[in-house]
Amino acid sequence: MADKILIVEDEPKLAQLLVDYLTQSGFETQVISDGQQALDWIDQHHQEIDLMVLDLMLPNLNGMEICKAVRKYSSLPILMATARVEEIDRLIGLEFGADDYLCKPYSPREVVARVKAIIRRSQLMQSHKQGGVDEKPVAELLAGLVLEEEKYKAILNGQELDLTAVEFQLLAILANEPGRIFSRQQLMDGGYQDHRVVSDRTIDSHIRKLRKRISEKCPETEIIHSVYGVGYKFELL
């Protein structure tokens, strides 16, 4: 059975473009253009859909409010699309429970790629919770990554990475919640056990070094992705 995608978008041409690309990729789609109508429909049918592509600016009820309301009763994957790129809007959206962001204008092919990645991650995590796979870290299932936290040891695709304690901690934070976007502040709070004062640039520097160490051992593997204006996430696209 094909995965079903709900598209909540009030621009008819854009909505139809998404329908065309997602249908060509084997998905079933449904379009709703009004925010309040979308929320009313989701209340009754959220178990029938596998992912929602949600526009931020909608008539009658905006995407933030829809996302916040849906998260009270459902873990339905949500890909939020917006032309508003201010950092505060992006962070608020993630706090309300959006799984990922796209900024307009975007490529329909990128939407399809993001949809596939989010659904794959959601299915793997659900299977893991139900005991349908071996008891392994979710991160290992996604990208061949094994973390031994007591030893600060990281193995990627059979290659041991030579990481500092801080680099290991940042990788562990990201990998333990695949797909979640972490702000630099969240990485600061979790990456420094001694609560030292560090800056955004320090985090960026550590991430650059971490990526370099990964590329040295596994040049074809990219697992840490930048999200413009927000921070970083772990995902194998």
Buried b (16+ CB within 10 A) or exposed e, 164-194: eebbbbbbbbbbeebbbbbbbebbbeebbee
User: What are the pLDDT digits (tens) for 143-161?
Assistant: 678 888 777 888 888 888 8
92 lies in the same domain as 8: yes
157 Rama sector, left if φ>0, alpha if ψ -120 to 50, beta otherwise: left
Instruction: Please identify which residue in the block is written with the tokens 């070094």.
Output: 209
21 and 64 co-located in one domain: yes
- Same domain for 172 and 83: no
Residues 150 and 102 in one domain: no
User: DSSP secondary structure string, 27-81?
Assistant: -EEEEE--HHHHHHHHHHHGGG-SEEEEESS-SSS-HHHHHHHHTTT----EEEE
Q: Which of 98, 129, 160 is the last residue of a domain?
A: 129
Confidence of residue 133 (pLDDT cuts 50, 70, 90): very low
Residue where a domain stops, chosen among 129, 157, 174:
129
Please give the pLDDT value at position 27. 96
> Collapsing DSSP states into helix, strand and coil, what is residue 127?
helix
Q: Of 64, 97, 129, which residue is a domain's last?
A: 129
Assigned token pair, 9: 């978008």
Contacts of 44 (CB under 8 A, 6+ apart): none
* pLDDT digit string, tens, across residues 84-102: 666 545 555 566 677 777 7
As for how many domains the chain has, the answer is 2
On whether both 107 and 223 belong to a single domain, the answer is: no
pLDDT of residue 107: 86
| Cβ 42 vs Cβ 135: under 8 Å | no
Distance, CA of 178 to CA of 191 (rounded, Å): 17
The predicted-structure confidence for 167-219, as pLDDT tens digits, reads as follows: 888 898 888 877 788 888 888 877 655 444 456 677 888 899 999 999 998 88
Same domain? For 93 and 209 the reply is: no
Domain span at residue 21 reads 4-129
**Regarding predicted confidence, which is higher, 24 or 88?**
24
Among 62-66, 129-133, 154-158, which stretch is predicted with the lowest mean pLDDT? 129-133
